[in-house]
Amino acid sequence: MPLLALADGQRTVSSLLSDEQWNDLQKAVRAKSVTLTLPCGQPGHPKTRHGTRFFAHNPGAGHECESAAETAQHLRAKDIIVKAAVAAGWHAEPEVRGDGWVADVLAHNDSG
């Protein structure tokens, strides 16, 4: 259950979208006017559970990626961390991949 997806190739973080942007994205994906791709390369859709916005595999995709095993609490914690870092003036990105690792949230600021 990643917080990150590519919407028509553009990196999109669910936690950072306004309510209007989230609703528009849901409508566009349902209407098939926007293609959503998860970090694992599989197609997905926007979903909300217990107030947390995230991206999920499409039904019947038959694919389980590493984020599928995350609990709802883990997903919520990532969501809170992304929002808090951005509110504090930092740049925050979920599911950042490095050489042999994936950061749940990678945050940095430009102040040095």
Least confident of 1-5, 30-34, 62-66, 85-89: 62-66
> Amino acid identity of 8?
D
* pLDDT of residue 65 exceeding 70: no
Flag whether the pTM goes above 0.75: yes
Task: Determine contact, residues 36/29, Cβ cutoff 8 Å.
Answer: yes
